[in-house]
Structure 1
Amino acid sequence: MAEIEIKGVAKVFGAFTALHSIDLTISDREFVVLLGASGCGKTTLLRIIAGLDSPTKGEVWIGGRRVDMLPPRERGISMVFQNYAVFPHLTVFENIAFGLRMQRLAQAEVTRRVTRTAEIMHIEGLLKRYSGQLSGGQRQRVAVARALAMEPDVILMDEPLSNLDALLRLEMRAELKGVLAASKTTTIYVTHDQVEAMSLADRIAVMHGGDIVQAAPPVEVYRNPAARFVGSFIGNPPMNFLPAAAAGEGCWQVAGLTFDGPRADLPQIEFAIRPEDLHPADHGFLAEVRVVEPLGPHILVTATVAGVVLRAVLDSTLALAPGDHITLSPVSDRIRWFDLNTQKAIA
């Protein structure tokens, strides 16, 4: 079992608090992505789990054993870094075997593990090459193979695809997901790329300002953001937000329309809707088109509604141009509401 428990972990660098009090449990064999913008604390948390940094307070448990006082080599983990850390003076075989030799395993076992993981990562024909003879994608495969060869309880990955071009990144996402599922290893993956997070994760932990603001399966994070930040960060384009004014018990007026909504005693709330959940209709928000961007089968329309910018993903057959007016109706069961004082979603 390789369940990971993070209990009240905080990290302070001088006057700067990188992590406040993080609580997170990751189940055995679960693939969890730490997602957030630069500076949110995700890499700091990963380094604390790895043992490369110490928490200012809190505890880290792996497989029912407290490890925050142990050195990295005793935690049963492997780590894949952003820059791969492939040794240029070693062949691919010796790069994959590096950790195994540090453990002083017998040569037959080293060969078995290197061969097996090289086959899994489709680099068995590269074992005699040096890193200078490899492409970026091949070096990335070597780094993952080296981690898998250790047969760790946990694999930690720090933005391992960020140095690859877009097409190779797409290919490696699918490959990584399959390989790690087959390895039955608990995985924590750090990225700022929401597409990677949505496509890879069993669960996404969205981080902001040193806190985890939501930890849930990808579809839940996307459809039901627990905080305004999550709605504004997840999605390309992100959620639209429009101010709401009370119009009676449980009724709110938004850009001239009235909607059933939260209780009336909340002082400030916002109406939120995903761009793909807006559709042309006879009744809805009156929008003035500002920009039209073709996206293949769809167009991204940037418009203004009551002076607020609003984006809609619409069918490309619509003939729209800047200056046109269109009426956009929101899908009723996709509307979300946020309390502006707490920045949290309203049930």
Structure 2
Amino acid sequence: MAEIVIKGVAKNFGSFTALHSVDLTIADQEFMVLLGASGCGKTTLLRIIAGLETPSQGEVWIGGRRVDHLPPRARGISMVFQNYAVFPHLTVFENIAFGLRMAKLPSPDVDRRVRRTAGLMHIEQLLKRYSGELSGEQRQRVAVARALAMEPDVILMDEPLSNLDALLRLEMRAELKGVLAESKTTTIYVTHDQVEAMSLADRISVMNGGYIVQADRPTEVYRNPAARFVGSFIGNPPMNFLPAKPDGAGRWHVAGQSFAGPRTGGAEFAIRPEDLHPAQTGLQAEVRVVEPLGPHILITAQVAGQPFRALLESDHTITPGEVITLAPVPDRIRWFDPETQKAIA
């Protein structure tokens, strides 16, 4: 069992607080993605779990054992870095075997593990080549194979695909998820790429300013963001937001239209661009830019003086300068508290 429990972990760098009393539980064999922009604290949290940083306060538990006082080698973890960190003067076989030899495993065990993980990563044909002769994608496969060969309780990955081009990232994402599921290893994966997070994760922890804003399944994070930040960060294009005024009867005036909403003192209307469609009645949008995206067109417009986007089927003919009417799908409308920025149930 390799459940990970983070209890009240904070990290200060002088007067700067990188993490604010973070609590998080990651189940055994779960694939957890820490997602956020640069500086949100995700890599700091990963480094604390790895033992490369010491928390200012709080505890880290792995497999029922407190490890925040232990060195990295005693935590039962392996890491895969953004820059691969393979040794160019060693063959692929020796790179994968490096940690196993340091752990003084018998040669037959080293050979078995190297060939098994090389097979998982489809690099068995490269075992005799020097790592310095490989492409970036091949070196990344070597780095993952080396981590898996240690048969760790936990594997930590810090933006491991960010140096690959778009097509290779797509291929490696699918392969990586399958390999890690087969290895039954608990995984924590750091990225700023929301597509990567949505496609890989069992759960996503969205981070901002040293806090975990929401930790949930990808579909839940996307459809029911717990805070305005999550709605604005997740999705490309992100959620649209419009001010709303109450009429006192549980309905809200939004850009000249009336919508059923929460019974609360204040609320902000939100809708995703793909949850809009042209209609006879709805929000009046003045089109500024039309971007063809193959099966869809992305409309950038103004609604009540606010920037607003709609993702529509490509068979709609819309031109810049046109005023169109967009109706939101009623059960896809979300509401946020303007003061707390949290979702209103």
Contact 2:87–2:132 (CA under 8 A) maintained in structure 1? no
Partner residue of 1:325 out of 305, 323, 326: 323
Distance 1:296 1:33 in 2: 30
Give the corresponding residue for 1:269: 267
Partner residue in 1 for 2:38: 38
1:297-318 deviation line (CA, Å, top 9, x unaligned):
1000001111111100011111
Match of 1:85 in 2: 85
> 2:245 is matched with which residue?
245
1:219 match:
219
Deviation per CA, 1:163-184, whole angstroms, max 9, x where unpaired? Answer: 0000000000000000000000
Paired residues of 2:20 and 2:211 also in contact (CA < 8 A):
yes
Matches within 5 A, 1:199-238: 199-238=199-238
Mapped to 1, the partners of 2:160 and 2:100 lie a distance apart of: 21
Q: Please list the CA deviations of residues 219-270 of structure 1 after superposition, one character each: whole Å capped at 9, or x if unmatched.
A: 0000000000000000000000000011122111000011111114x2x421
| 1:139-288 correspondence runs (5 A) | 139-264=139-264, 266=265, 268-288=266-286
CA distance, structure 1, for counterparts of residue 289 and residue 296 of structure 2: 14
Q: Which amino acid aligns with 2:15?
A: A
Task: Report the 3-state secondary structure (helix = DSSP H, G, I; strand = E; otherwise coil) of the residue aligned with 1:340.
Answer: coil
Runs of at least 5 residues in structure 1 that lack an aligned partner in the other structure: none
C-alpha separation in 1, matches of 2:218 and 2:299: 25
Distance in 2 separating the partners of 1:188 and 1:63: 14
Alignment of 1:36-75 (within 5 A): 36-75=36-75
Name 1:98's counterpart in structure 2. 98
Q: Which runs of 5+ in 2 are unaligned?
A: none
Give 1:30's aligned amino acid.
E
1:76 matched residue in structure 2: 76
Measure the CA separation in 1 of the matches of 2:101 and 2:15.
42
How many residue pairs match? The answer is: 345
1:76 CA displacement = 0.3
Q: Offset at 1:152?
A: 0.3
Runs of 4+ in 1 over 4 A off after TM superposition: none
Tell me what 1:132 maps to.
132
Is the 8 Å Cα contact of residues 7 and 58 (structure 2) preserved in structure 1? yes
1:89 positional shift: 1.5
Shift of 1:275: 0.1
Helix, strand or coil: the match of 1:17?
strand
Per-residue displacement from partner, 1:11-40 (whole Å, max 9, x unpaired)?
000010000010000000000000000000
The one-letter amino acid paired with 2:126 is L
TM normalised by structure 1 equals: 0.99
The answer for the alignment partner of 2:341 in structure 1 is: 343
What SS class does the counterpart of residue 226 from structure 1 fall into? coil
Q: TM-score if structure 2 supplies the norm length?
A: 0.99
Distance 1:99 1:125 in 2: 21
Determine helix, strand or coil for the equivalent of 2:21: strand
SS class of match (2:83): coil
Q: Give the superposed CA RMSD.
A: 0.6
Partner Cα separation in structure 2 for residue 117 and residue 18 of structure 1 = 36
Q: Distance in 1 between matches of 2:132 and 2:81?
A: 18
Q: Where does residue 305 of structure 1 map in the other structure?
A: 303
For 1:52 and 1:95, how far apart are their aligned partners in 2? 22
Match of 2:116?
116
